[in-house]
Amino acid sequence: MNRLVNAFLLTSLIAGTSLVIFSNHWFPIWLGLELSTLSIIPLLSYTSQSRSVEATLKYFLVQAFSAALLLNGAVLNLWISNSWDVNSITSPISYFIITAALIIKLGLAPCHFWFPDVLSGLPFLSTIIIACWQKIAPMFLLLSLSNLVSSEIIIVCSILSVLVGGWGGLNQISVRKILAYSSIGHLGWITCVAFFIPEVSYLLFLFYILNNTAILLICHNGSLYYLSSLSKSNVVPITAILFSIALLSLGGLPPLGGFINKVIPLIVFSLNGNNFIIPFFLIGSLISLFFYIRIVFNTSLTLFPQHSLNIVSFRTGNSSLSQPIISTLIPITIWGLLLLPIFFLFI
């Protein structure tokens, strides 16, 4: 696509998300959400392959519907409370409609069905935009609404998300679908903390975004679209090891950084005396850890019968633009557990 058009669309995507974050009037929030949806449609569908176009269409329909629902809830709130201000959600019905719209936008269960479908039709760079950047605006809105009204719908949807994210990823062979279900599960962990301390959720969300971006960039570099191509990929050998570490960090194993995403919610739940929901989260993350380990197994822990010339590959063509970005994001997954004391500022 034309470079100028590409730059224009990326700029309007960033502008749309910024418009959502920086305004406290509902109308620019709706405008920013629609702007960010519209501006990535050409970016997703420029290859004119039928899979990408179908995924773009599904994405657009879901996001447009939920943005209209959000505007509907905001106008209902205007009718009841006479204010367009974001900080004046007074009635439960308008809060529920707006939260339902944001849950559809984020892809939390029970409204998660579009997410693996859309992600599995797009190439990896588009996947990064959909799974990481596009979640910033609705997550920001959800967390800022949780500052005002705490409602149990968030807990129910996050428990369902964690369980769906675990069970949904079990029988998949496409790496994009596995990462989609892992994303659903992680968002479940992040949004449940929003019921208790929403500021901590920002921290967990940032951590998750960085981890996920690193993994998706590595998958883009090696074109790891299916589980069968995991053992045959020619990435730089250090990237193979770091890919495994980043995935185990996403699964939440303790000395790695992703453990923050699991230990902080557990601390928050038990400090608030809400021990009942903890087993659901643990079961969901245990099941999702299984398919992370399956990816790690197929990448680094098995050696399929092949010529010995394929095993040692020093010369690879992977000195692309994404290598420095991967190199800056990966240390967060390794040393991230040292960031745990930041959390104690919020208690």
Partner 1 sequence: MVFYLFMLLLLLGSTLVFYSLSPYYAALGLMISSLFGCVVLTSLGLTFLALLLLLIYMGGMLVVFVYSSALSADRYPMVSNLGEVVLLFLLLSFWVLFIFEDFLESSTLFNLLSPLNDLSSLSVLYDYGGAYLLVGGLALLVVLIVALVVSYGSSLLALRAL
Binding site for partner 1 (CB under 8 A): 1, 5, 8-9, 12, 19, 27-28, 31, 34-35, 38-39, 41-42, 45-46, 48
Residue 92 Cβ vs partner 1, minimum distance, rounded to whole Å = 22
CB of 42 to partner 1, least distance (A): 4
Nearer to partner 1 among residue 34 and residue 233 (C-beta): 34
φ, ψ (nearest 5 deg) of residue 85 = -75, 140
Closer residue to partner 1 in complex, CB, 38/337: 38
Nearer to partner 1, 34 or 183 (CB): 34
146 vs 86: CA distance, rounded Å: 11
Are the C-beta atoms of 295 and 174 separated by less than 8 Å? no
Question: Could you tell me the smallest distance in angstroms from the CB atom of residue 102 to partner 1?
Answer: 20
* Token pair 């950084």 in the structure block, residue: 257
Q: How far is CA 171 from CA 167, 283, 346, in A?
A: 8, 17, 39
115 HSE (CA, 13 A, CB side)? 31
Task: Indicate the residue among 16 and 258 with the shorter CB distance to partner 1.
Answer: 16
Q: Please identify, using beta-carbon distances, which residue of 38 and 132 lies nearer to partner 1.
A: 38
Q: How far is the CB of 35 from partner 1 (least distance, A)?
A: 5
- Least CB distance from residue 120 to partner 1, whole Å? 21
Q: Residue 122 in contact with residue 130, Cβ under 8 Å?
A: yes
| Smaller CB separation from partner 1, 53 or 156 | 53
Q: CA 226, CA 239: separation in Å to the nearest integer?
A: 18
| Burial bucket for residue 268 (CB in 10 Å: 0-12, 13-18, 19+) | buried
**In the complex, what is the shortest distance from the CB of residue 53 to partner 1, in angstroms, rounded to a whole number?**
9
Tell me if 40 sits within 8 A of 9, measured CB to CB: yes
Pair 189, 140: CB distance under 8 Å: no
